[in-house]
Amino acid sequence: MTPNEGDATDGEPGKEDNTSIDDIETLVVDPDDVVQALAYNGQEEVGIDQKVSFELTPPFEAEAEPELVHIEDDTTKVDLEGAVRIRPFRFVEEGRQVVEQRPTRELALEELDAADPKEATIDEWIDEALETWKEHVREHRADVVDVYASHGMAIIDVEYTDSQES
């Protein structure tokens, strides 16, 4: 075998196989994808097997751009044929608390003073509250994210594309 015939995944000692999350230095993420993923996952009618997550697939490079995927299995599973999933709340400071603050129909009914508010009033309240919530998410983007995989955990810097300035 000539030196150029071996590939990065042939398992030879001393060769990098780029399957460790430690190979990733920076994740590049669209902040609007984070907001939309959190908003989508927070809907009351979205079941656990319908949620979205960010996913990285090997080989891992120094700069990686995770893609949004629908979760069709256990959301706690972190290694799917080498793929690594990152739940959207990890891209937000105090992400779990932010997710819980997402406006819902139940909250709208509690906040509106009317005894039996009209559907249009409820929808308007949710739309306005959701815009405020989305802005809060954008303002609390995490600079680093902890990523868990079957072989360990890594803390990785996050760079956001600025498709929408807030």
- In single-letter form, the type of residue at position 129 comes to A
pLDDT of residue 27: 97
CB 84 within 8 A of CB 21: yes
The mean pLDDT values, 10 residues at a time, for the chain of 166 residues are 39 56 94 92 78 91 94 56 89 87 86 83 92 93 92 92 58
Residue 142 phi/psi, 5° resolution?
-80, 140
CB-based contacts of 115-118 (< 8 A; 24+ apart in sequence): none
Rounded to two decimals, the pTM is 0.77
pLDDT of residue 117: 85
Residue for token pair 């509690």: 110
pLDDT of residue 73: 57
CB 75 within 8 A of CB 52: no
CB 49 within 8 A of CB 12: no
DSSP codes joined into one string, 48-95: GGG-EEEEE-SSP-SEE--EEEE--S-TT--EETTEEEE-GGGGBTTH
pLDDT of residue 4: 40
Token pair for residue 67?
């893609």
